[in-house]
Structure 1
Amino acid sequence: MNSTSLTTKPTKLTLHALKTIIPSSFQHIQKHKMTLSSHLLHLLLFLSTYFFSPCFSAGKCHPDDESGLLAFKSGITEDFSGILSSWKPGTDCCTWSGINCRVDNRVTELSVSGQSDNPKSFLSGSISPSLSKLQLLVGIYMGNLLNLTGTFPQFIFHLPKLSYVYLENNKLSGPLPPNIGQLSQLGALNLAGNRFSGKIPLSISNLTQLGQLNLGQNYLTGEIPAGILNLNQLTLLRLDQNRLSGKIRNFSSFSQLSVLDLSYNQISGEIPATISSLASHLRYLELGHNLLTGSIPDFLGNFRSLDTLDLSGNYFSGVVPKSFSNLTKIFNLDLSRNNLVDPFPEMNVKGIESLDLSYNKFHLSNIPKWVTTSPIIYSLKLAGCGIKMKLDDWKPSQTYFYDYIDLSDNQIFGSPVVLLNRTELLKGFWFSGNQLKFNVTDLILPKSLNDLDLSRNMIFGKLPSSISGLQKLNVSYNHLCGQIPPNKFPATVFVGNDCLCGSPLPPCRK
């Protein structure tokens, strides 16, 4: 799986939900916003339970543990950032980075992870089977190491105390073992972001102690096995970004489920009525980018604790239920790219962080008032929503935290100059296919801006030099003139203007 697919549509977890959800693995804290990834939260719990408790080691670690760990290190061919630099023969392995010994100087936790902000923080090589010598191992975390290869590590089957397995974001491949159900003692299993293929083994039904199961971002195929319904202790189930097909199962046995993510698969049919049984606990329901059909069920309005609802990229039709006005705690709502029609219900939210209604069959006329008054919004995407308004008249309560604004393919006129001058953290601004008319020379771009699309409007003037710092740009089909500032963009982003000249277009006349 390529790096793009691994980062697609990350799930964000708001602080108000910290007391009610335990997620699955480590990611990052997003800058400038009080949000945590669901992955980080579980690692914090894992570390607080096993790593931050007092360690009672009084002597050197057991020789079997030392030899097993050194065998693992010997199987690593690249370690540029020195993740394993403290692992030296003859020293106490209980003091090595990522190692914890809690019982009789035996290794009980192994945590070796890469850092997303350090491109050299990875390991290349394979996982040595000698780790089976760590007979008292309770938890193993090998995340974001990127270049660890091989098949599902069989040594895991020989560790009787093992309860937590996190091997996400590596390059492990091949089928999941048919006998994976023998790991019946596991409380958490995370194999996300690898290259596992084939069907989910039927024996997974034996993992009845699992609180969290994350098999997302792999190449798994076939239907979700019926036996997965035996895992009634689950609080988190992520099977996203695979190639799974079939219908949504009857998940009514998951009485404690808080996170259900089946997005980016090939699952078909309607949302079954049995999903309604999850209303009391579910906070994250992500079914986007599948082949789902029918109408959005009215019972989703009963999920009053929902933080995130993603139904994007399906074939839903009809109206959005009026019961959505009951979703007072919703922070992230994505209904984009369906066949939904008017009217859109008035939402009774105190604040919305992320809203995407793009490319349905809505005729909103204006940006909804409950969006305009939101005190914390960071992403607003209402492309192709039938909005007819003067942009100068739109005065949102706050713009400081905006990351992304996409109002493309509407009938918006006026100028974005005032709006852009009120933003400081904006990364993407998309307004193509509107009726904007202003002098682009007056435009002051936020320093944070990476992506700007003003194509197919009526803007005029000379391009400011600040466009040179953008990563993406499109100002095609406007009325721009003059010398193009130094840039790295192809000619296609400048075509269709009145008299632009200079690289990558023909030289200006002297």
Structure 2
Amino acid sequence: MNSLFICTVVISLLCINTTGAATCHPDDEAGLLAFKAGITRDPSGILSTWKKGTACCSWNGINCFNGDRVITLTVYGQSDVAGSFLTGTLSPSLSKLQNLSSIHFTDLKNITGPFPQFLFQLPQLTIVYIENSRLSGPLPVNIGSLSQFYALSFEGNRFTGPIPSSVSNLTQLTQLRLGGNLLTGTIPLGIANLKLMSVLSLGGNRLSGTIPDIFKPITELRFLTLSNNRFSGNIPPSIASLAPILRFLELGNNNLSGTIPSFLSRFKALDTLDLSRNRFSGVVPKSLANLTKIFNLDLSHNLLTDPFPVLFVKGIESLDLSYNQFHLKTIPTWVTSSPIIFSLKLAKCGIKMSLDNWKPAQTYYYDFIDLSENEISGSPARFLNQTEFLVEFKAAGNKLRFDMGKLKFAKTLKTLDLSRNLVFGKVPATVAGLQSLNVSQNHLCGKLPATKFPASAFAGNDCLCGSPLSPCKV
């Protein structure tokens, strides 16, 4: 990945000195204008500088080398601005750009059509990112003939069918990103041939079968994402060979089973481990305490049992142990002491403490908290009143007892679930600013403030009244 980055920087630096060219190769101009003609809507004016008769090397997203030949083509949509995306198709006339070395099309959203066959006609092309559009249909069976590619990403499209076995010929690849499509079938065994690969991202598809035991030769792999598929079976033993440098291992939301292998304790560089929403069982290996650099750990929604090991991390950022068979009794000290944690989810973890006794080292960064389905008592008021950026707080099905009328919370808060507790007092008017609220099955009383929430959000209290419940008695 480092060599790819350096290569990209060098190309960019070369381009900076040459994009002021007064000329434009006629083939390149024709290819780019044909691409623009295939775009039926450009509400943000992304291609507004692309005008016939002007130097195409000066157009937005275009870089040239050696005077007049286009070598990089970059078109980004505005992912945070609704209705700003390009609509249309990818013109095959882009094959005219014979010196093109890299394509970056990201967040164009409404670009449709099949796999862009013009990629096979560009001999200098080594880097392709066409992400978050609506390309569809199968990947070509001869995709392996793109053997000069360093990076290939079609994440976030609608490609269907299997991953062609010819990917085994893409031996120069450092990145293969096909996540977020509708791909089916199994992982080709030939991926073992891609020995230079540092990123393999196949998550968010409909892939099935077992995860093949192919990872021993792929010694440069740093990111392995297979989450949100239909894989079954155990974690393959050859993943152990990735221990020295693997940083992200994401296998969540599949149908994997067996125990969590102890060899994961050797992954000293691991930043993120996601094994959530599978059928892993047994005890979490005590040796996982060796993962001192882990920042994001998600083991939720499995069949894991006590005891959970004490981790010696300097600072955990996100932790989710919810919905296993743990009986933690308290929020672990190594969690409470973390100064950088932003997400803590310990739903149904057998916690039997008072929130009055929970004193986190730092509340500033907390964004998401879920302590539902425990036996937690006390009041969250002190905690909620101290947070700056809290977005979600869930503590349903506990024994919390406090006056809700005195509750304040961050302006950032969007979701609050205090249902099935012992909360009393009035519902404050500030809840109107939330997106989701549930305070049902408590001991609240008084007239409800004006909100958009349904009656179910307030049901089962002692004496609440007013819309959407029954009118208050005069």
Alignment-mate amino acid for residue 9 of structure 2: S
The answer (yes or no) to whether the contact 1:83–1:121 under 8 Å persists in 2 is no
State the match for 1:483 in structure 2: 447
State the match for 1:414 in structure 2: 378
State the match for 1:146 in structure 2: 109
Gaps of 5+ in 1: 1-20, 24-41
Q: How does 1:163-242 map to 2 (within 5 A)?
A: 163-242=126-205
1:239-275 per-residue CA deviation (whole Å, 9 max, x = no partner) reads 0010101111221111000000000111110112111
Deviation at residue 47 of structure 1 after TM alignment? 5.9
Deviation at residue 174 of structure 1 after TM alignment? 0.2
1:386-438 per-residue CA deviation (whole Å, 9 max, x = no partner) reads 00000011000001000101100000001000011110000000000000010
Counterpart check, 1:55 vs 2:6:
no
SS of structure 2 residue aligned to 1:476: coil
Cα distance in 2, alignment partners of residues 46 and 173 from structure 1: 31
Q: How much identity, in percent, do the aligned residues show?
A: 61
State the match for 1:3 in structure 2: none
The answer (yes or no) to whether the contact 1:168–1:190 under 8 Å persists in 2 is yes
Cα distance in 1, alignment partners of residues 83 and 277 from structure 2: 35
The answer (yes or no) to whether the contact 1:331–1:354 under 8 Å persists in 2 is yes
Cα distance in 2, alignment partners of residues 117 and 272 from structure 1: 39
Deviation at residue 203 of structure 1 after TM alignment? 0.7
SS of structure 2 residue aligned to 1:94: helix
1:423-465 per-residue CA deviation (whole Å, 9 max, x = no partner) reads 0000000000000010000100111101110011010111111
Alignment-mate amino acid for residue 325 of structure 1: A
The answer (yes or no) to whether the contact 2:387–2:409 under 8 Å persists in 1 is no
Counterpart check, 1:507 vs 2:468:
no
SS of structure 2 residue aligned to 1:200: coil
Alignment-mate amino acid for residue 295 of structure 2: F
Cα distance in 1, alignment partners of residues 32 and 247 from structure 2: 39
Taking a change above 3 Å as real, the CA distance of residues 146 and 47 of structure 1, as seen in their structure-2 partners, is: farther
The answer (yes or no) to whether the contact 1:86–1:97 under 8 Å persists in 2 is yes
Q: How does 1:78-157 map to 2 (within 5 A)?
A: 78-157=41-120
Match of 1:296 among 260, 266, 287: 260
Counterpart check, 1:431 vs 2:395:
yes
SS of structure 2 residue aligned to 1:492: helix
1:222-255 per-residue CA deviation (whole Å, 9 max, x = no partner) reads 0101111111110000000101011112211110
Match of 1:405 among 360, 363, 369: 369
The answer (yes or no) to whether the contact 2:35–2:93 under 8 Å persists in 1 is yes
SS of structure 1 residue aligned to 2:301: coil
The answer (yes or no) to whether the contact 1:22–1:235 under 8 Å persists in 2 is no
Deviation at residue 22 of structure 1 after TM alignment? 6.0
The answer (yes or no) to whether the contact 2:110–2:133 under 8 Å persists in 1 is yes
The answer (yes or no) to whether the contact 1:55–1:100 under 8 Å persists in 2 is no
State the match for 1:314 in structure 2: 278
Q: How does 1:3-42 map to 2 (within 5 A)?
A: none
State the match for 2:328 in structure 1: 364
Taking a change above 3 Å as real, the CA distance of residues 46 and 410 of structure 1, as seen in their structure-2 partners, is: farther
- TM-score when normalising by structure 1: 0.91
Alignment-mate amino acid for residue 56 of structure 1: T
Counterpart check, 1:326 vs 2:290:
yes
1:296-324 per-residue CA deviation (whole Å, 9 max, x = no partner) reads 00110000110000000000000000110
Alignment-mate amino acid for residue 95 of structure 2: S
Cα distance in 1, alignment partners of residues 286 and 473 from structure 2: 60
Match of 2:32 among 49, 61, 69: 69
1:352-382 per-residue CA deviation (whole Å, 9 max, x = no partner) reads 0000000000000000000000010000000
SS of structure 2 residue aligned to 1:456: coil
Cα distance in 2, alignment partners of residues 51 and 323 from structure 1: 45
Q: CA RMSD in A?
A: 1.3
Q: How does 1:365-380 map to 2 (within 5 A)?
A: 365-380=329-344
Cα distance in 2, alignment partners of residues 45 and 361 from structure 1: 47
Cα distance in 2, alignment partners of residues 247 and 46 from structure 1: 36
Alignment-mate amino acid for residue 184 of structure 1: S
Alignment-mate amino acid for residue 408 of structure 1: S
Q: Which moved more, 1:100-109 or 1:372-381?
A: 100-109
Counterpart check, 1:441 vs 2:402:
no
SS of structure 1 residue aligned to 2:227: coil
1:266-301 per-residue CA deviation (whole Å, 9 max, x = no partner) reads 111011211100001100000001111100001100
Alignment-mate amino acid for residue 277 of structure 1: S
Q: Which moved more, 1:405-414 or 1:59-68?
A: 59-68
Gaps of 5+ in 2: none
